[in-house]
Structure 1
């Protein structure tokens, strides 16, 4: 039985918590969030601030952890700091997700119920593949990417680090989405999207630059 601690206790954290509770091979050990004032046992779980993870390590040395923060940039900062101290996070995949045995899932990535990841897809570290999202064959998904609920990527799509694909957006085959760009909800992407922009509409058009 793998013991798992979660970093983050917001809305996204609630969904990730359900993944752990649904898995028969995992048990939730604790939840760590800035809203907790001190390290303590609350409702049967170890809780505290993210900086208190080392205290849990002393009690449960083999505990794995996952970062449950929806903001891609903040998730990257937390991952870089925490993994330097404690090692790689664990990937969490809901039993109701469909993941090809020929796909690769990076450490710290979470895959929600109803998501589909097809053969040859390569999903990076600390990604969110949200409810009902589709990553078709041979997708290349960079680190810290978020595919929102029902986002659909056709075959051979490349999504670079930190990009966010909005709810219900779709991307035709062989398209590339640039680093830290945002695709609006319901958009239809039919041409390459550069780094650091917001694109919306059908077809998707760049409307602004993002200052990172």
Structure 2
């Protein structure tokens, strides 16, 4: 089967991780990367940086598929802007799933989301648009994850949890069963979340406490 051409948007470290998953999945052929003007002409893992995001609309006339490969640590604002820009231009944002991940056939994952190596997504889970489910993350049964969320490396989200939109779940975080988390929350690495988080802000520690 002929691979589908795809454009990557964002050329940082997360882009390298996405490239590895895309190559392993074997469905898409990377035609180029969009990044900052000063980086045009450089290469990332042998793929050229060909243009800047001002020209996304023009590029998507010929390359229908695009994927947001900009990372998300503190704020998802850039990823959201680029996602909306691709949608407005009529681009198609696929779901990318590593063949080294385990995803239940009873899980639902929306457009523009990537599931990376070693991640596990169990039955009944629903994951929104433009999310990053990073390496070795575990999403247990019946979890609901909103749009524009990054579940970072080695995190554990237990059954029947609900994670709101625009959230960052730091590496190694554990969220206990049935916990609900509001929108616009940052949870620091290694945190233990034992009860609902009802307000946006930054939370750290074991158990978690709000610091901002």
Q: Work out whether the TM-score is over 0.5.
A: yes
Q: Cα deviations across residues 163-198 of structure 1 (Å, max 9, x unaligned)?
A: 111110000111011101011111110001123111
Match of 1:25 among 24, 27, 32: 27
Q: Cα deviations across residues 58-100 of structure 1 (Å, max 9, x unaligned)?
A: 444xx31100111312111111122111234111111111111
Secondary structure of 1:30's partner? strand
Match of 1:118 among 118, 122, 126: 122
- Taking the TM superposition and a 5 Å limit, the aligned residue runs for 1:1-212 are 1-35=3-37, 45=48, 47-60=50-63, 63-71=64-72, 72-208=76-212
* Uncovered stretches (5+) of structure 1, i.e. residues with no partner: none
Contact kept, 8 Å, 1:36 with 1:47, in 2: the verdict is no
Contact kept, 8 Å, 1:76 with 1:144, in 2: the verdict is yes
- TM-score, normalised by the number of residues in structure 1: 0.89
Secondary structure of 2:54's partner? helix
Q: Judging changes above 3 Å, is the alpha-carbon distance between structure 1 residues 171 and 41 closer, same or farther for their aligned structure 2 residues?
A: closer
Secondary structure of 1:86's partner? coil
Query: How far, CA to CA, are the matches of 1:9 and 1:119 in structure 2?
Result: 33
Q: Judging changes above 3 Å, is the alpha-carbon distance between structure 1 residues 41 and 204 closer, same or farther for their aligned structure 2 residues?
A: closer
- Number of residue pairs matched? 205
Q: Judging changes above 3 Å, is the alpha-carbon distance between structure 1 residues 45 and 207 closer, same or farther for their aligned structure 2 residues?
A: closer
Contact kept, 8 Å, 2:30 with 2:47, in 1: the verdict is no
Contact kept, 8 Å, 1:157 with 1:174, in 2: the verdict is yes
Contact kept, 8 Å, 1:168 with 1:187, in 2: the verdict is yes
* Uncovered stretches (5+) of structure 2, i.e. residues with no partner: none
Q: Cα deviations across residues 134-161 of structure 1 (Å, max 9, x unaligned)?
A: 1111000000011010010000010000
- TM-score, normalised by the number of residues in structure 2: 0.89
